Amino acid sequence: MLRGFLRKNTMITSLSLCGSPFKNGTVPKLGKNLAVGLRINKTLKHLKVQYYNFGSEEGRLLADVLYTNTTLLSLDLGHNKLGSEGGKALADALCKNATLTFLNLSHNLIRQQGEQALAEALCKNTTLMSLNLHNNFIKLEGAFADALCKNTTLISLNLGYNGLISKEGQILADVLARTPH
């Protein structure tokens, strides 16, 4: 049903699908149906899919879409369970995607491996302006800090509730002092 809707839709530019934070498991085939529909859809600009327990497989499916989709401007996958692998897949797609300007990956267990992949993506991506990594157990490692210095388009970054301590705070302060914009 969703796949068909996305294939035929020529009017809706924003779609919000929010599941229940108390539901166990994903909705069967939702990630796959979204991915198939988004490959064809040329109208949708904003997609929000929260609280569906999307894991690494759904992250990979949606990342595959980002390689070729040229209409999606914002993607909100907050409050899922993409993990490091899903985060890495999306980061790889960001290296090639030239339209996405907003990405919310809050509450997704991205961790250090995903953080490293996102650092590489930030060095290459020239369109992303807002990135939300709230509550992902990332530690602002050196590569991520360096990426922030090199990236010239990111203007909003949420790193709240990642357990950053004074050392990471000092790294972030140094980055902000070195960043020309």
Q: Which two tokens stand for residue 134?
A: 């709230």
Inter-residue contact 65 to 42 (CB < 8 Å)? no
Please identify which residue in the block is written with the tokens 């157990």. Answer: 137
Our CA angle for 82, 106, 180, nearest 5°, is 120
Radius of gyration (Cα) for the chain, nearest Å?
A: 16
Domain ranges in the chain? 2-176
Q: Which of 45, 123, 52 is nearest to 81 (CA)?
A: 52
* Rounded-to-integer distance, Cα 142 and Cα 3, Å: 41
Q: Which of 77, 168, 156 is nearest to 122 (CA)?
A: 156
Q: Which two tokens stand for residue 100?
A: 């996405």
CATH topology for the 2-176 domain: 3.80.10
Inter-residue contact 151 to 175 (CB < 8 Å)? no
Predicted pLDDT at 133? 97
* Rounded-to-integer distance, Cα 78 and Cα 52, Å: 9
Cβ burial of 70 (10 Å; 0-12, 13-18, 19+) is exposed
For 35-87, what is each residue's pLDDT tens digit? 999 999 999 999 999 999 999 999 999 999 999 999 999 999 999 999 999 99
For 143-177, what is each residue's pLDDT tens digit? 888 898 889 999 999 999 998 887 777 877 877 77
pTM: 0.91
